[in-house]
C-alpha cells in the first residue's frame, strides 16, 4: 500500500507541476485528495484494519495527503504570482496621453487685481465700503470741497443724468457717505467703477476702476498716510518697492500729494515705461481737509484723517505688463485665458 | 490651597457674599476651583441634655441615658466612656442622616435606643472619636448645633500660580484682598520678648547656600495635649489633621503665614546642637511618614551631633518628633533653597505641606515672624518657658527698590490713576513707599514678593488689583463691509470660473437699440433704463439694465476670432429708473454659453451645452447663497426659444431666467450657433438667502435602502410634481427621489415617456423589514397609478 501511495504522490507531483492555471490546479486537487480521490479511497479502508495497525497506516496516508497539499499550495502561489505579474504587464499604458481635462475659466485680470488690493487692505484692518455709481453733485463735488466753477464739473469731463445727478468721477463719494453715516474711527477702502467723459484710447476709458482709502481717528498723522501707502505698495508689488510724495493740489485734502512708486518694470533704474525717471505716477493722497470733516459733523479738532486714491486699471496693466487699457475691455478669451491660474 | 472664609475674617473686616468673594479672588488672579460649605449636617443635630444615666444591665461598656432634646425625653443607649449625667451633648434624632447612615430606632442588647449622642468625628468637626462631644453648660437645649458652635464656614479651594508663594498662607491672601478692596489688614499681634538674657542654643549652618537662615527657639516645660477647638477647626478647614497642640501650632502658623515650621523634642536632639548639613551617603533617616529613607548625600538635613532629625523643609523625623511625653522642644523656623527642596522632595517622592511651600520660595524675614508667632502661641496654649534662642542669618538680603512712573502706567494701561491710588494699591500689598518724586514713585519690595523686581511687575499688580475688566473699551470700528454680499459675489465668480467660465467686464453703457433686438415688450422692466444727458454716442447713451447684450457681443467677438466653445459670465451692476433720485442699482450675475461644455478629450467625451447643463449651473449658483425654496418653471422670456426658457421663482417673485436664445434673436446679434444664457438677480437672491447656517445633524445609524421604479407616464406631468407626491407618501422615511433615466421611442406611445426613479429610504429609529419597504413602494405605485395613470414597466 505504501508503494501505491508513493506512486500516487509521484503522479500528482508531475501533474501539479504541469498545471497552467488555478482552475486546472483545483481540478487536480479534487482528483488527488478530493472526496472521491484514490487517497481518500485508501483512507476508507482504514476501518477494516485492526486497531493496532490503524495508527501506523493512518500516518502513512496523512503524510501522502500532506505532501500533495503542500505541492498544490506551492503551485497555487506560483500561479498567483504569475497572474499578478501579468496584470502588471497588461496595465502598462501611455502615460503621455492627456489626463481628464478639467476646464478652468478665469477671473478678469481687473477682478484679480481688485481682489488682491481688497485683501491687502483687509489684512491691514480696513473695511470695504461700497456706494452708488450714479451719484448726486453734492457727494461727488460739493462735499469734497470742489469749487462751483471747477472744470471737472463740466459736461466735457463728467457724464450727467440730470442737472445734479451724475456718474461718479471718483469713489470719494463713498467716503463722504461713510462719514455721513458713521463717526470715527473709520478705516475703509472704497473700490469701484468711476466714469469720466474721456474718449477711449490706450490710457483712457470712459469707465474705469478706482480704489480710495479713508482713515479718520484720533491722532492720525501724515506719517500714518505714508506708512499705509508704503505697506500697500510693498505688499502689492514687492518688498523692494518704494513710494514717494510730490506736493500737489486736491480740493479734498490739505496737504495734498501725488504718489509715485518705483517703476514696476525697471525697479527704479529707468526704462521706457517710466520715461527713464524710475518712478511711476500712481494716484493722489493727502490729509483730509478739516473743512470736509467739519461739514460732515466730525470734530476736526479731535479727529484727523488721511485719504488716497489709486487706479485699479493702471495697477493691473502695470502688474501684467499689458500694453494699454483697450484690451482689458475687449474680453477676448485668448486674453482672459492667460489669467486662468492667477486667482 | 484651601482658604477658610471664617479664618480670613480674622485678618480682614470683610462682609462679602460667597459669590462676591469668589469673584474678587478670581479676578485678582486666584482661581477658585471649588467652594465647599462646611457641615450642613450640624443644622440637623440638636443640643440636648443627658437627664439621667445608668449602666446597661447586659453590658459593661454601654450605658442607658435619658436624653431631653427640648421636645421630649427619649432613651438612648450610648457606648462612650465619657458620657455623664447633666452633660450638654450633640444629639441626632431618629431619622437623621449622618454620612450614609440613617439613625433608626433600635434595640441594643435588649434595651431600646431612640437616637445617637455624637462624637466630634461623627459630626465631621474633628478626628476625635474617643468619646462624645461634650458642650459647655450654657449650650441652649433644642437649638441646632450649627447655631451654637460657631463653625459654619465656607472653604475655597484655590489654585495659586507658582510665582505667588506669598499667597500660600491665609495672611497673604488676606493682604491681597485688603489691597484690592482697600481694607485695613489686622495682623496677629506679636509679643516682644527680651531675648538678651536667654541662653544661646547651638546651631551650625554648614551649607549657607542651602539654608539661608535658621532660627531655633527652645521652650521648656510644655504640656503636650489636644489643641483648643479653634486651632483644630482652622487646621481641618485648611485640610490638615490635628495631632497635638505643639504640632498643631506649627501647622497653624504654616497655614497662617505660608511659611512652614517644625518642632523637635529637645530630649532627642543628641549633643544638644542643631547642624544643617548635607546628608552622609548611606545614612538612614526614619521619617514621620513611617518610612525609613536611605540618604545619598545630596539631601539637606537637620541633624543633631549624631543623626539626621529632619529632611530639611520636607519632613520631620520619627526619632525626634513631639509626643505626649514631650516636655522641652526646639522650635525651628528656617529658610531653605527652593531647588534643593524640590529635588529632595521629588527624589524621595515625599510631598508635604512644607515642601510644597518651601519649593516655591520663602522669605528670610517671614521666618523671623513665624518663629515669634509660634513661640507666642505655644507659650499661651502649651505653657512652658522660652529658655534659649538662636538666629543664624549669614547673608542678610539687600533691600530691593523699584521705581514706578505713573505716566508709564497710563501709557501701558490707558488708565489714569492718581498717585495716591497707585500708592494705596502697592502699599496694601506690603510695599513701602520710600520716595515720591513727580513721575517716579520708589517702592521698597517686601521680602515675600521676590516676583516683583521691575516696574512692569508693579504695573501688573496695579491692573490686577484694579481689575483687568475695568479698562474702558475704545470706540469700536464700525462694521462697514457688507460681508454677505462681498463674499458671495466672490463665491459666485469663483464657482463659475471653476466650471470653465471666463469672466468679462463690459462698460456700464449700453445701446437702447438692444431692447428691440431682444424683442422686449414695451412695458418690459429692462426698458426703464437710465439715460445719459451727454453720451458719447447712441451706442453708449444709457446705463445698462441687463448684462446679456454685452455678453452676446462678447460671444460674437470671440466666435469671430475663432472660439467655438464659449462660456462667459459677468457679475456686475445694472441700473433702473425709479422713484429714487439716483435710480436703482442692482447686482446681477449673467452668462452665455455656446459650443461644448468642456474641452475635447480622448477618453471623456464632452457634450454640447444643453438646457439641463445650463439648469445645473443655475441651480448650483443658487445653492451658493444658499437659496433653497425656489421653483423653476417655464416662462416666456421674449428672447429665449419657446419651450426652452425657464424662470426661477421665489414666492411670486421672479429672480432670474435662463434658456436657449431664440434662433431669430441670435441672428439679430449675428451669432449663428446655438447659444444659451442666464441672468440672475443677485441682489434679490441675497434677500431670499437662507440665513440659518449649518447645524450638525446626527449621521443615520441604520442602513438606508434604495429602490428603483420605472413606469410609462404621459408627457403632461412634470417630474417635480411626481417626486413631491412620492415624498409625500412618507416624508419621514423617503429622503430623496432621483430621476435616473428617461426615454421615449418606438416602443412607447407618442405623448408618453418612460421614467425611472431611484427612491432613497432612510430609517430613523428601527431597521425596516423587506415587507414594510415593499408595502411602502406599493403604496407609492398605487398613488401614481391613480393620480397619473402610470403603467409600470
Ligand atoms: Zn522703469
Q: Considering only CB atoms, which chain B residues are within 8 Å of A105?
A: 496-503, 567
Q: Are residues A142 and A282 in the same domain?
A: yes
List B residues 357-416 in contact with A (Cβ-Cβ < 8 A): none
Cα gap A229→A223, rounded to integer Å: 10
- pLDDT at position A188 is 96
Q: Are residues A66 and A115 in the same domain?
A: no
Kindly state whether residue A297 falls inside one of the protein's structural domains.
Answer: yes
In this complex, is the C-beta atom of A98 within 8 Å of any C-beta atom belonging to chain B?
yes
Kindly state whether residue A173 falls inside one of the protein's structural domains.
Answer: yes
B616 CB neighbour count, 10 Å cutoff: 13
Report CB contact under 8 Å: A206, B502.
no
Cα gap B366→B373, rounded to integer Å: 10
B469 CB neighbour count, 10 Å cutoff: 6
- pLDDT at position B150 is 64
In this complex, is the C-beta atom of A334 within 8 Å of any C-beta atom belonging to chain B?
yes
Report CB contact under 8 Å: A105, B581.
no
Q: What percent of chain A has pLDDT over 70?
A: 99
Q: How far is CA B43 from the centre of its chain?
A: 35
Cα gap A122→A128, rounded to integer Å: 8
Kindly state whether residue A257 falls inside one of the protein's structural domains.
Answer: yes
Q: Are residues A324 and A238 in the same domain?
A: yes
Chain A nearest CA to B595, separation (Å): 14
**CB-closest option in B497, B504, B598 to A331:** B504
If you measure CA to CA, which chain B residue comes closest to A139?
A: B582
> How many angstroms is it from A206 CA to the middle of ligand 1?
27
Q: Which of A34, A64, A91 is the last residue of a domain?
A: A91
> How many angstroms is it from A237 CA to the middle of ligand 1?
14
3-state secondary structure of B53: strand
Q: Are residues A189 and A305 in the same domain?
A: yes
> How many angstroms is it from A261 CA to the middle of ligand 1?
10
**CB-closest option in B479, B506, B534 to A197:** B534
pLDDT at position A342 over 70: no
Q: Considering only CB atoms, which chain B residues are within 8 Å of A197?
A: 534, 536
**CB-closest option in A160, A205, A332 to B557:** A332
Cα gap A251→B290, rounded to integer Å: 91
Is residue B27 a contact partner of residue B467, using CB atoms and an 8 Å limit? yes
In this complex, is the C-beta atom of A294 within 8 Å of any C-beta atom belonging to chain B?
no
Interface test with A, best of B505, B564, B588 (most A CBs within 10 A): B505
Q: Which of A91, A121, A140 is the last residue of a domain?
A: A91
Cα B107 to Cα B60, B110, B113, B115, distances in angstroms: 16, 6, 6, 11
pLDDT band (50, 70, 90) for residue A264 = confident
To the nearest 10°, report the CA torsion of B495, B501, B503, B506: -130
Report CB contact under 8 Å: A133, B598.
no
Q: Considering only CB atoms, which chain A residues are within 8 Å of B563?
A: 333-334
> How many angstroms is it from A309 CA to the middle of ligand 1?
22
Q: Are residues A38 and A157 in the same domain?
A: no
C-alpha cell at A126: 480696513
Q: Considering only CB atoms, which chain A residues are within 8 Å of B475?
A: 183-185
Per residue in A161-172, pLDDT (tens digit) is: 998 999 999 999
In this complex, is the C-beta atom of A127 within 8 Å of any C-beta atom belonging to chain B?
yes
Chain A nearest CA to B548, separation (Å): 14
CATH of the domain at A152: 3.30.930.10
Q: CA triplet A131, A166, B655: central angle to 5 degrees?
A: 50
List B residues 487-526 in contact with A (Cβ-Cβ < 8 A): 490, 493-494, 496-509
Is residue B115 a contact partner of residue B77, using CB atoms and an 8 Å limit? no
- pLDDT at position A179 is 94
Mean pLDDT score, A7-17: 87
Chain B nearest CA to A250, separation (Å): 26
Kindly state whether residue A328 falls inside one of the protein's structural domains.
Answer: yes
Q: Give the total number of structural domains in chain A.
A: 2
Q: Are residues A73 and A117 in the same domain?
A: no
Q: Are residues A329 and A296 in the same domain?
A: yes
Mean pLDDT score, A124-149: 92
Q: Are residues A231 and A319 in the same domain?
A: yes
> Model-level pTM?
0.77
> How many angstroms is it from A262 CA to the middle of ligand 1?
8
Chain A nearest CA to B570, separation (Å): 9
To the nearest 10°, report the CA torsion of B550, B553, B554, B558: 180
Report CB contact under 8 Å: A110, B505.
yes
CB-based burial, B412-445: b 16+ in 10 Å, e otherwise:
ebebebeeebbbebbebbbbebeeeeeeebebeb
In this complex, is the C-beta atom of A161 within 8 Å of any C-beta atom belonging to chain B?
yes
Kindly state whether residue A283 falls inside one of the protein's structural domains.
Answer: yes
In this complex, is the C-beta atom of A128 within 8 Å of any C-beta atom belonging to chain B?
yes
Q: Under 8 Å CB-to-CB from B479, ≥6 apart: which residues? A: A127
Give the E-state strand segments of B516-628 in sequence order.
Answer: 542-543, 566-576, 584-594
List B residues 467-486 in contact with A (Cβ-Cβ < 8 A): 474-482, 485-486
Query: Considering chain B, what is the average pLDDT of its residues?
Result: 92
Q: B356-360: long-range contacts at Cβ-Cβ below 8 A with a sequence spacing of 24 or more?
A: B356/B168, B357/B165, B357/B168, B357/B254, B357/B258, B357/B259, B357/B260, B358/B260, B358/B313, B358/B314, B359/B313, B360/B162, B360/B165, B360/B168
Q: Which residues of chain B have pLDDT under 70?
A: 38-40, 125-128, 150-151
C-alpha cell at A282: 500712481
Q: Are residues A80 and A117 in the same domain?
A: no
Report CB contact under 8 Å: B598, A182.
no
Task: Identify the CA nearest to B217 among candidates B362, B20, B379.
Answer: B379
- pLDDT at position A33 is 84
> How many angstroms is it from A236 CA to the middle of ligand 1?
17
- pLDDT at position A343 is 44
End-to-end distance of chain A based on CA atoms, in angstroms?
Answer: 84
In this complex, is the C-beta atom of A335 within 8 Å of any C-beta atom belonging to chain B?
no
Cα A307 to Cα A136, A146, B514, B744, distances in angstroms: 21, 16, 40, 67
B112 CB neighbour count, 10 Å cutoff: 13
Q: Are residues A87 and A120 in the same domain?
A: no
Kindly state whether residue A101 falls inside one of the protein's structural domains.
Answer: no
Q: Are residues A176 and A65 in the same domain?
A: no
Give me the domain span that covers residue A234. 109-342
> How many angstroms is it from A280 CA to the middle of ligand 1?
8
Contacts A–B by Cβ distance under 8 A: 153
Instruction: Identify the residue with better confidence: B726 or A101.
Output: B726
Q: Which of A91, A117, A140 is the last residue of a domain?
A: A91
Report CB contact under 8 Å: B604, A106.
no
Q: Considering only CB atoms, which chain B residues are within 8 Å of A108?
A: 502-505
Chain B nearest CA to A178, separation (Å): 8
Q: Considering only CB atoms, which chain B residues are within 8 Å of A330?
A: 557
In this complex, is the C-beta atom of B547 within 8 Å of any C-beta atom belonging to chain A?
no
Kindly state whether residue A23 falls inside one of the protein's structural domains.
Answer: yes
Chain A nearest CA to B702, separation (Å): 37
> How many angstroms is it from A274 CA to the middle of ligand 1?
4
C-alpha cell at B135: 458642650
Q: In A155-221, where does DSSP find H-type helix?
A: 172-181
> How many angstroms is it from A204 CA to the middle of ligand 1?
21
Q: Are residues A234 and A153 in the same domain?
A: yes
Cα gap B443→B553, rounded to integer Å: 81
Kindly state whether residue A96 falls inside one of the protein's structural domains.
Answer: no
Sign of the CA dihedral B491, B496, B499, B502? negative
Amino acid at each position: 500500500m505504501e508503494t501505491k501511495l508513493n506512486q500516487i504522490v509521484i503522479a500528482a507531483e508531475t501533474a501539479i507541476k504541469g498545471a497552467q492555471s488555478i482552475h486546472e490546479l483545483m481540478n487536480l486537487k479534487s482528483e488527488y485528495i478530493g472526496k472521491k480521490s484514490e487517497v481518500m479511497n485508501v483512507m476508507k479502508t482504514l476501518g477494516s484494519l485492526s486497531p493496532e495497525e490503524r495508527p501506523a497506516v493512518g500516518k502513512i496516508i496523512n503524510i501522502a495527503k500532506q505532501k500533495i497539499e503542500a505541492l498544490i499550495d506551492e503551485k497555487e502561489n506560483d500561479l498567483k504570482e504569475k497572474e499578478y505579474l501579468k496584470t502588471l504587464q497588461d496595465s502598462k499604458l501611455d502615460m503621455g496621453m492627456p489626463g481628464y481635462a478639467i476646464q478652468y475659466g478665469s477671473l478678469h485680470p481687473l477682478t484679480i487685481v481688485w481682489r488682491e488690493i481688497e485683501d491687502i487692505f483687509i489684512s491691514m484692518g480696513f473695511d470695504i465700503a461700497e456706494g452708488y455709481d450714479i451719484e448726486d453733485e453734492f457727494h461727488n463735488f460739493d462735499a469734497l470741497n470742489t469749487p462751483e466753477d471747477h472744470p471737472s464739473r463740466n459736461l466735457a469731463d463728467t457724464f450727467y443724468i440730470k442737472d445734479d445727478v451724475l456718474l461718479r468721477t471718483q469713489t470719494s463719494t463713498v467716503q463722504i457717505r461713510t462719514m455721513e453715516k458713521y463717526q470715527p474711527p473709520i478705516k475703509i477702502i472704497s473700490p469701484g467703477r468711476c466714469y469720466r467723459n474721456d474718449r477711449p484710447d490706450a490710457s483712457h476709458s470712459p469707465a474705469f476702476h478706482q480704489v480710495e482709502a479713508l482713515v479718520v481717528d484720533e491722532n492720525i498723522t501724515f506719517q500714518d498716510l505714508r506708512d499705509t501707502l508704503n505697506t500697500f505698495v510693498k505688499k502689492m508689488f514687492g518688498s523692494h518697492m518704494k513710494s514717494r510724495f510730490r506736493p500737489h493740489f486736491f480740493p479734498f485734502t490739505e496737504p495734498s500729494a501725488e504718489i509715485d512708486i518705483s517703476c514696476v518694470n525697471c525697479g527704479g533704474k529707468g526704462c521706457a515705461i517710466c520715461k527713464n525717471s524710475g518712478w511711476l505716477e500712481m494716484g493722489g493722497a493727502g490729509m483730509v481737509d478739516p473743512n470736509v470733516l467739519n461739514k460732515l459733523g466730525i470734530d476736526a479738532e479731535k479727529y484727523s484723517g488721511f485719504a488716497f486714491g489709486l487706479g485699479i486699471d493702471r495697477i493691473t496693466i502695470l502688474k501684467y505688463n499689458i500694453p494699454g487699457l483697450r484690451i482689458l475691455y475687449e474680453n477676448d478669451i485668448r486674453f482672459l485665458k492667460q489669467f486662468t491660474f492667477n486667482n | 490651597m484651601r482658604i477658610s472664609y471664617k479664618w480670613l475674617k480674622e485678618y480682614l473686616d470683610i462682609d462679602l457674599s460667597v459669590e462676591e468673594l469668589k469673584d474678587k479672588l478670581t479676578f485678582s488672579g486666584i482661581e477658585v476651583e471649588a467652594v465647599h460649605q462646611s457641615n450642613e449636617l450640624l443644622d440637623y443635630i440638636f443640643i440636648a441634655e443627658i437627664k439621667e444615666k445608668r449602666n446597661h444591665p447586659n453590658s459593661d461598656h454601654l450605658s442607658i441615658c435619658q436624653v431631653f432634646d427640648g421636645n421630649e425625653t427619649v432613651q438612648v443607649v450610648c457606648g462612650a466612656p465619657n458620657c455623664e449625667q447633666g452633660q450638654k451633648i450633640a444629639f441626632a434624632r431618629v431619622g437623621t442622616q449622618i454620612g450614609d447612615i440613617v439613625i433608626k430606632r433600635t434595640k441594643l442588647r435588649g434595651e431600646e435606643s431612640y437616637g445617637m449622642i455624637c462624637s466630634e468625628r461623627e459630626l465631621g468637626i474633628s478626628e476625635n472619636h474617643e468619646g462624645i462631644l461634650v458642650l459647655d453648660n450654657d449650650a441652649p437645649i433644642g437649638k441646632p448645633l450649627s447655631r451654637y458652635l460657631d463653625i459654619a464656614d465656607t472653604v475655597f479651594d484655590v489654585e495659586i500660580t507658582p510665582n505667588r508663594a506669598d499667597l500660600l498662607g491665609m495672611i497673604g491672601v488676606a493682604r491681597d484682598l485688603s489691597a484690592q478692596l482697600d481694607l485695613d489688614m489686622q495682623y496677629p499681634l506679636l509679643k516682644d520678648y527680651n531675648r538678651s538674657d536667654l541662653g544661646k542654643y547651638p546651631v551650625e549652618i554648614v551649607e549657607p547656600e542651602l539654608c539661608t537662615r535658621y532660627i531655633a527657639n527652645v521652650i521648656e516645660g510644655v504640656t503636650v495635649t489636644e489643641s483648643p477647638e479653634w486651632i483644630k477647626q482652622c487646621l481641618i478647614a485648611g485640610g490638615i489633621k490635628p495631632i497635638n497642640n505643639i504640632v498643631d501650632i506649627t501647622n497653624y502658623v504654616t497655614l497662617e503665614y505660608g511659611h512652614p515650621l517644625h518642632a523637635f523634642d529637645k530630649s532627642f536632639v543628641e549633643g544638644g546642637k542643631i547642624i544643617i548639613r548635607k546628608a552622609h551617603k548611606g545614612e538612614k533617616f526614619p521619617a514621620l511618614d513611617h518610612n525609613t529613607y536611605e540618604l545619598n548625600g545630596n539631601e539637606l538635613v537637620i541633624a543633631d551631633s549624631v543623626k539626621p532629625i529632619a529632611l530639611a523643609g520636607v519632613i520631620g523625623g520619627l526619632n525626634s518628633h513631639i509626643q505626649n511625653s514631650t516636655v522641652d522642644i526646639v522650635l525651628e523656623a528656617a529658610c531653605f533653597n527652593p531647588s534643593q527642596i524640590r529635588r529632595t522632595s521629588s527624589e524621595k517622592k515625599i510631598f508635604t505641606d512644607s515642601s510644597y511651600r518651601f519649593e516655591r520660595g520663602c522669605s528670610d524675614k517671614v521666618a523671623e515672624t513665624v518663629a515669634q508667632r509660634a513661640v507666642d502661641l505655644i507659650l499661651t496654649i502649651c505653657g512652658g518657658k522660652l529658655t534659649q534662642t538662636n538666629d543664624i542669618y549669614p547673608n542678610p538680603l539687600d533691600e530691593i527698590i523699584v521705581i514706578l512712573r505713573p505716566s508709564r502706567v497710563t501709557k501701558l494701561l490707558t488708565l489714569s490713576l492718581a498717585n495716591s491710588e497707585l500708592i494705596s494699591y502697592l502699599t496694601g500689598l506690603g510695599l513701602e513707599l520710600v520716595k515720591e518724586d513727580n513721575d517716579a514713585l520708589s517702592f521698597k519690595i517686601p521680602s515675600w514678593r521676590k516676583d516683583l523686581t521691575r516696574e512692569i511687575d508693579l504695573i501688573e499688580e496695579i491692573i490686577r488689583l484694579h481689575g483687568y475688566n475695568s479698562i474702558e473699551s475704545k470706540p469700536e470700528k464700525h462694521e462697514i463691509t457688507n460681508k454677505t454680499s462681498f463674499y458671495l459675489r466672490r463665491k459666485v465668480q469663483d464657482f463659475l470660473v471653476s466650471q470653465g467660465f471666463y469672466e468679462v467686464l463690459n462698460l456700464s453703457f449700453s445701446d437702447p437699440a438692444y431692447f428691440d433686438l431682444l424683442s422686449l415688450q414695451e412695458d418690459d422692466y429692462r426698458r426703464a433704463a437710465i439715460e445719459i444727458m451727454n453720451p458719447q454716442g447712441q451706442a453708449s447713451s444709457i446705463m445698462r439694465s441687463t448684462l446679456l447684450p454685452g455678453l452676446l457681443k462678447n460671444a460674437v467677438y470671440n466666435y469671430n476670432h475663432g472660439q467655438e466653445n464659449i462660456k462667459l459670465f459677468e457679475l456686475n451692476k445694472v441700473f433702473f429708473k425709479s422713484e429714487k433720485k439716483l435710480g436703482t442699482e442692482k447686482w446681477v450675475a449673467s452668462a452665455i454659453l455656446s459650443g461644448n461644455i468642456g474641452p475635447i478629450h480622448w477618453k471623456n467625451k464632452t457634450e454640447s451645452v444643453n438646457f439641463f447643463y445650463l439648469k445645473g449651473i443655475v441651480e448650483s449658483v443658487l445653492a451658493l447663497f444658499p437659496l433653497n425654496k425656489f421653483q423653476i418653471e417655464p416662462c416666456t422670456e421674449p428672447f429665449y426659444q419657446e419651450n426652452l426658457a425657464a424662470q426661477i421663482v421665489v414666492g411670486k417673485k421672479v429672480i432670474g431666467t435662463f434658456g436657449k436664445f431664440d434662433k431669430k434673436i441670435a441672428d439679430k446679434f449675428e451669432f449663428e450657433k446655438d447659444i444659451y444664457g442666464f441672468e440672475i438677480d443677485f441682489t434679490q437672491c441675497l434677500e431670499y438667502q437662507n440665513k440659518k447656517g449649518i447645524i450638525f445633524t446626527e449621521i443615520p445609524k441604520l442602513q438606508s435602502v434604495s429602490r428603483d421604479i420605472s413606469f410609462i407616464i404621459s408627457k403632461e406631468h412634470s417630474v417635480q410634481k411626481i417626486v413631491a407626491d412620492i415624498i409625500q407618501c412618507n416624508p419621514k422615511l423617503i429622503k430623496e427621489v432621483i430621476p435616473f433615466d428617461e426615454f421615449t421611442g418606438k416602443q412607447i406611445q407618442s405623448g408618453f415617456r418612460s421614467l425611472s426613479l431611484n427612491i432613497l429610504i432612510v430609517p430613523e429609529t428601527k431597521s425596516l423589514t423587506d415587507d414594510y419597504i415593499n408595502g411602502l413602494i406599493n403604496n407609492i405605485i398605487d398613488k401614481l397609478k391613480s393620480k397619473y395613470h402610470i403603467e409600470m414597466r
